[in-house]
Amino acid sequence: MSSEKLRAWCVHIFTMSGAVCGFLALVNITMGDQRDAIWWLIVALIIDGVDGTLARKFKVTEHLPDVDGATIDNIVDYFTYVIIPAYYIWWFNVVPEGWATPAAIAILMSSQYHFSDLRHKTHDNYFRGFPALWNLVIFGFYVFEPSAVMALVIIFLLSLATFVPMKFVHPFRVERLRRTNLAVAGLGSLALIAAVATSPEPVGAAKIVIALSLGYFLIIGIHRSLTEQDQP
């Protein structure tokens, strides 16, 4: 095996390891350990954030044309971004009694639409509709601990937002304000790590940075949705 193919396989294995992180998160949820479950999902998110860059750098598609990295990535993403968060919400009774299963169903079904929607990216690389980032949602639930009713409202609003042609920022792909977007995403990620590390009483500064980061991306998405015609 050539060194190029070996590196390409290493990138695929690195991407696949995200599913292992998801499985370990699932185990920790079942054991009732929210904090460690969140840690494993953070590791999975980091893997997903860098594997695409590695794949392009090492020309994985060129050296392993018969192995579809995009399919691997989608499988891992649906598992770690959708199934595990839905299970987390169901297991830990994040929403009012009797609503856990409907909330999980809303997450699973709306996310399947997102993953199959060929128009889910716009011409300027924004996501079109809520991009099934349910792992980020449960990170927020873990840090901010909203009421059960508020959590349920958020879940159903975001499920509906999957079908709305509103733009959501992809920090790594959107060219406009890319450096600023990456800086804000980086600060938000560091704040999340700090918040989880100091839980169950997250430091206030970390919570403020997370809130400001989320607000920034929400405002950018709304602004672009209102000022430019969507062209999937």
> Which amino acid type is present at position 202?
P
Contact predicate 176/127, CB 8 Å: no
Range with lowest mean pLDDT among 36-50, 170-184, 198-212: 170-184
Residue 232 has pLDDT above 80, yes or no: no
Q: How far apart are CA 8 and CA 39, in angstroms?
A: 27
Residue 179, Cβ density class (10 Å: 0-12 exposed, 13-18 middle, ≥19 buried): exposed
Nearest to 4 by CA among 66, 72, 62: 62
pTM over 0.85: yes
Across the range 139-152, mean pLDDT stands at 97
pLDDT 10s digits, 81-122: 999 999 999 999 999 999 999 999 999 999 999 999 988 888
Residue 10: both structure tokens together: 């290493």
Residue 230 has pLDDT above 80, yes or no: no
Q: Identify the sign of the CA torsion 114, 167, 19, 178.
A: positive
Q: How far apart are CA 224 and CA 123, in angstroms?
A: 12
Across the range 215-220, mean pLDDT stands at 92
Give residue 51's pLDDT.
87
Give residue 231's pLDDT.
53
Q: Is 25 helix (H, G, I), strand (E, B) or coil?
A: helix
Residue 135: both structure tokens together: 């792992």
Domains of the chain: 3-226 (1.20.120)
Q: What angle do CA 85, 87, 88 make, to 5 degrees?
A: 60
Strand (E) positions, the chain? 127-128, 167-168
Nearest to 94 by CA among 135, 150, 178, 162: 150
**Share of residues in the chain with pLDDT > 70 (%):** 98
